[in-house]
Structure 1
């Protein structure tokens, strides 16, 4: 383990550069969560239940590719490190795949359209997104081993991720309108976003540095020498990794359902689809502002407690929204509360995942940043896939019809379930999981023990 693991040069620039990676990732991720199903149903004229099924089935392939990519990252050797080379290699394919995702040929028959959706969706999620996001997720643990610095990096990651989400939520529909408000307009919109994503990833590649290495003494095993089966067994001896993977799976299920339902909620409950920008804009701006205060809270209260506070605020914000009666003032209040809550959660969640890597090394002698993050990615992508299918299924059961001028009462209820009540259930589950998470209290002792092993 390299003891020079703190960020020592150009901290602000390096933190910003690290965060740019999630800005780039969110160009596609937010688009897939918030607008892809809407694009399929209302512009490409594809069945919601068929698309939801494709998304869920595709997560099986996606999960396998995550594990493979994690092993590849752990075995990557280059002058740039383990993770950074993949960010450079995949940034252009990432942009191209995003454009193809929103380029369903509108004139095709239903079956060829579904084939196209299946191929392009898997190209993005199973291959390209995995090949850039798994290395990026591993980068935090490779840049520093200082727990506070990890928290700050996680804050910058979430700050820039939120900026990416804000960018997509604010500019997607206006750009689509600008380019003609038809199926082809979505393609042109994502050509613009693709260039933005490439620039963001290049910032990450050139602005960051990998410093942390596995301990080489006292029986510790280098990540590149860990057999795959041994690495998997080590993961399931890591109780905190199991907790965080379960948490991520639930959260990304919720993000998928809630994010995908936002445009429906704005259009059919509030009566104006352009309110997506208002609802998410306020939410994201508050979240970004909240990030500047989270580091102080983490230092005083610890990551687990800050995360739990965020969950409570998220629940309150959702309840306020549900009983807003369509009042814009109350909707704004709800977005502010949820923005603060999400700042607490987003700023700590990924740092907590990185901490489980050190716990796993201390517990089992195996340090596998790539495998840990890819297995987490597998968990949350399964959650995301189930969420996508769940959204389509609930809308289908509720009788939602994309071309209908007015939706039925059951369709409106299904939208409320997706946008409000499923997130509340997930936040409650998160609070239960956090009841058993005690790594914050144990972490300093674990790091000291690992340092002693490295010095023997």
Structure 2
């Protein structure tokens, strides 16, 4: 396999032809605003909306979040297989962005429009609309993630596209975290959801319109790969297994911090109106840091930059732990934690898609859709688990939505989901990344795949 690198100067030239232009990489990034800002809205505010606005008990909300997200993860795998079998004039991933954008926007509005029913009716409505949302979200997000794998095989271009997408993700997160609470006072939750739904539709259309699919398999595999063969193939992909486990821990962490943020501002800091400041402190360092991550990745590799980020996040969590109710101290720790999370947010999709080439190298099957959807299962499970833990621990602590005071145990639970549990999960993330060595192996893998294409 080493010989193929020496013998292949034409390979680098071919890679140059496959590199997308900057404007196309930025157009890919715009779509993440439509996909992931919505996820931030759900992670940060839906639990609070259900408990404190609609009046559903925290433990019931936690169970809803986990059940729905487990179902979501299963549909991810099915959607990945559908994407791999899709054949259209627009490609396999792009057309889904066009088809699903409007239904997704409508589902966001329905999600934050719980009618004035009895308690059971509200729960039923929440289950139906949340499951509808995650089905449509899956049908848009899996193709979007898959698109990164078929835009290019040039590793640095893929990393840059992921970074650009994360810049828009962070812009969306900044908008959601900073302006959602004030806007609901003037236009209400339904109006706010309509605003975000419209932005999502526009963003997804821009990605569909300006991004191309250009990567094909190195083998003569059939147009339609049986699901059983694809599933067996990803189970032989050790790096996919590692990155999926990493996705679970990482997205659990994100949803713990975001999902309990309003509760923390209200009951630990003592002023819910401080939440926009906390949100700004969390997201602003991420946005600034993303503009410097490209050179760091080129020098140190994605894995090592992600490990360094997790170490910075741990330091931030320790600072918050030192004096949890002190706002300035909490903001310093939050800024460091946000800066530490930034590398993984900026590189995770690229790392997932790097495992596509490793899987093709090992098995001869290129299944971008299933690889992304199966890894997305880890993201969705982590999201559901994080939101479920918030609801469950609030229930264990005796939290009562809308109450004037909360039990001391509920306050401690709010601290745990913001500080101690995310800290422990960051340690696990570092351990997993130590086994993710694909950066060093990738050039040789890609050279071998190019050799197979020319046999």
Query: Does the aligned pair in 1 maintain the 2:265–2:274 contact within 8 Å?
Result: yes
Give the distance between the partners of 1:61 and 1:7, measured in 2 at CA: 40
Normalising by structure 1, we get a TM-score of 0.94
Going from structure 1 to structure 2, the CA distance change for 1:437 and 1:445 (only over 3 Å counts) comes to: same
Q: CA RMSD in A?
A: 1.7
Q: Which of 144, 152, 158 matches 1:150? A: 158
Aligned residues: 445
Task: Indicate whether 1:169 and 2:168 are aligned.
Answer: no
Q: Where does the alignment leave 5 or more consecutive residues of structure 2 unmatched?
A: 1-10
1:134-181 residue CA offsets vs partner (Å, 9 max, x unmatched): 0001011110101111111111111111111111111111110112xx
1:246-288 residue CA offsets vs partner (Å, 9 max, x unmatched): 0001111222222100110011111121222111212211111
Look up the match of 2:131.
122
Going from structure 1 to structure 2, the CA distance change for 1:9 and 1:147 (only over 3 Å counts) comes to: closer
Query: Does the aligned pair in 2 maintain the 1:400–1:407 contact within 8 Å?
Result: yes
Give the distance between the partners of 1:271 and 1:60, measured in 2 at CA: 34
Q: Where does the alignment leave 5 or more consecutive residues of structure 1 unmatched?
A: 180-184
Give the CA deviation at 1:85: 0.4
Query: Does the aligned pair in 2 maintain the 1:2–1:212 contact within 8 Å?
Result: no
Give the CA deviation at 1:49: 0.9
Within a 5 Å distance, the mapping from 1:267-306 to structure 2 comes to 267-306=266-305
Look up the match of 2:95.
85
Look up the match of 1:25.
35
Look up the match of 1:35.
45
Query: Does the aligned pair in 2 maintain the 1:143–1:211 contact within 8 Å?
Result: yes
Give the CA deviation at 1:2: 12
Q: Which of 119, 122, 125 matches 1:113? A: 122
Within a 5 Å distance, the mapping from 1:324-363 to structure 2 comes to 324-363=323-362
Tell which deviates more after alignment, 115-124 or 160-169.
160-169
Give the distance between the partners of 2:279 and 2:321, measured in 1 at CA: 16
Look up the match of 1:182.
none
Normalising by structure 2, we get a TM-score of 0.94
Give the distance between the partners of 2:15 and 2:49, measured in 1 at CA: 45
Give the CA deviation at 1:439: 0.7
Give the distance between the partners of 2:289 and 2:385, measured in 1 at CA: 30
After superposing on structure 2, the runs of 4+ consecutive aligned residues of structure 1 that deviate more than 4 Å are: 1-10
Q: Secondary structure of 2:169's partner?
A: helix
Look up the match of 1:141.
149
Give the distance between the partners of 1:75 and 1:195, measured in 2 at CA: 29
Query: Does the aligned pair in 1 maintain the 2:145–2:372 contact within 8 Å?
Result: yes
Give the distance between the partners of 1:394 and 1:328, measured in 2 at CA: 23
Tell which deviates more after alignment, 409-418 or 385-394.
385-394
Task: Indicate whether 1:211 and 2:210 are aligned.
Answer: no
Give the CA deviation at 1:221: 2.5
Give the CA deviation at 1:340: 2.0
Give the CA deviation at 1:322: 2.0
Query: Does the aligned pair in 2 maintain the 1:5–1:211 contact within 8 Å?
Result: no
Look up the match of 1:56.
66
Look up the match of 1:445.
444
Give the CA deviation at 1:122: 0.1
